[in-house]
Amino acid sequence: MDIDDKLSQFDVVIIGGGPAGMAAALWSDELGLNSCVIDSASNFGGQLHWIYNPITNYLGTNLENGEAGFRDFSKSLSRRNFTQMLGCLATSVDVAIGNVLLDDGREIHARAIVVATGVRRRTLGVPGEVEFNGKGILDSGSRDKSEASGRRAAVVGGGDAALENALILADHADKVYLVHRGDRFSAREKFTKAVKRNGRIEVVLNARVREFGGSSDLEFVDIELASGGSSRIAIESAVVRIGVQPNSGLLRGIADLDAAGYINVDRECRTSAQGVFAIGDVANPVSPTISTATGSASSAIKCIAGSVRKTE
């Protein structure tokens, strides 16, 4: 569909093409709504492209990884009618008139706006974190485990993802340092018990990373100890898993956010801004799952469909 011919004719504009946005597009078509999905990436899928482990907790499926999930989701959308705008960045929304402004100057108008922008990984913001990305700092312990083979590695973080990455790397690396700023992990018990039993993992608590360093490739990590002093650990590989933060900037100052920046919504996924809904991880710090993302999409679109019918 030619977007230039449809700029002001949408019932719903969906910002974000991850599982929540894809499900919103499906439900829009299911309920007879004319919708448009905007995503700054070159393809839909969002965080599905980050998942390198099997997905076994989405009802009715047993997927090899996120890419397999993306392919299945894409099949579900293949015969659905909606407009796609990939490689387009939404820079602002005007709630008063229902407009979404794109970075190329175009304005997209709709009766309702659905924000499905998800989350992004937190970074440490320390020297060397960017410089050694891909030169020792790995994107994923699961995907890049072979790069740690026979090496000394560090994993930074204390949640499920950090401990799971440490356990994966420990099957390949000579030694894994698990560095966490707190005095205890927030990860589930099954991960903490497995870490304690693994002789290749050395736990370093109450420690903050100060710097990743080396010459052309990663060679060490400097940490600051809560007890005082510092330590330099020789490593060749590292994974940072310190949680995520919501991509809620579009609605900052427009709709209510919580202290962590997640968008507050009611049970039908309405925000405090008239005509604006938020679905998926950007509005759900408690259970950021595929199930919640797709479920919140159906709730929001059904609510919008009901409102549209009342005005027709």
Task: Flag whether pLDDT at 267 surpasses 80.
Answer: yes
pTM value is 0.89
Task: Flag whether pLDDT at 14 surpasses 80.
Answer: yes
- With bands split at pLDDT 50, 70 and 90, how would you rate the model's confidence at 75? very high
pLDDT > 90 fraction of the chain, expressed in percent and rounded: 83
pLDDT of the residue at 6: 45
List Cβ neighbours of 127 (8 Å cut-off, separation of 6 or more): 210, 211, 212, 213
DSSP 114-130: EE---EEE-----TTTT
Least confident of 60-69, 211-220, 277-286, 303-312: 303-312
- With bands split at pLDDT 50, 70 and 90, how would you rate the model's confidence at 2? very low
Contact 186, 158 (CB under 8 A): yes
Average pLDDT of the chain is 93
Task: Flag whether pLDDT at 77 surpasses 70.
Answer: yes
- With bands split at pLDDT 50, 70 and 90, how would you rate the model's confidence at 7? low
pLDDT tens track for 122-168? 999 999 999 999 999 999 988 888 999 999 999 999 999 999 999 99
Task: Flag whether pLDDT at 42 surpasses 60.
Answer: yes
Q: Which residue has the tokens 């919008």?
A: 304
Nearest residue to 107 via CA among 11, 3, 28: 3
pLDDT tens track for 172-220? 999 999 999 999 999 999 999 999 999 999 999 999 999 999 999 999 9
Rounded distance between C-alpha atoms, residue 165 and residue 145, angstroms: 9
Least confident of 84-88, 112-116, 307-311: 307-311
What the chain holds in terms of domains, given with CATH numbers, is 3-121+244-311 (3.50.50.60), 145-240 (3.50.50.60)
pLDDT of the residue at 8: 55
Contact 126, 221 (CB under 8 A): no
Least confident of 92-101, 120-129, 144-153, 303-312: 303-312
SS3 174: coil
Q: What is the mean pLDDT of residues 97-122?
A: 94
pLDDT tens track for 226-266? 988 899 999 999 999 999 999 999 999 999 999 999 999 99
Contact 297, 290 (CB under 8 A): no
Contact 293, 20 (CB under 8 A): yes
Rounded distance between C-alpha atoms, residue 180 and residue 158, angstroms: 6
pLDDT of the residue at 52: 86
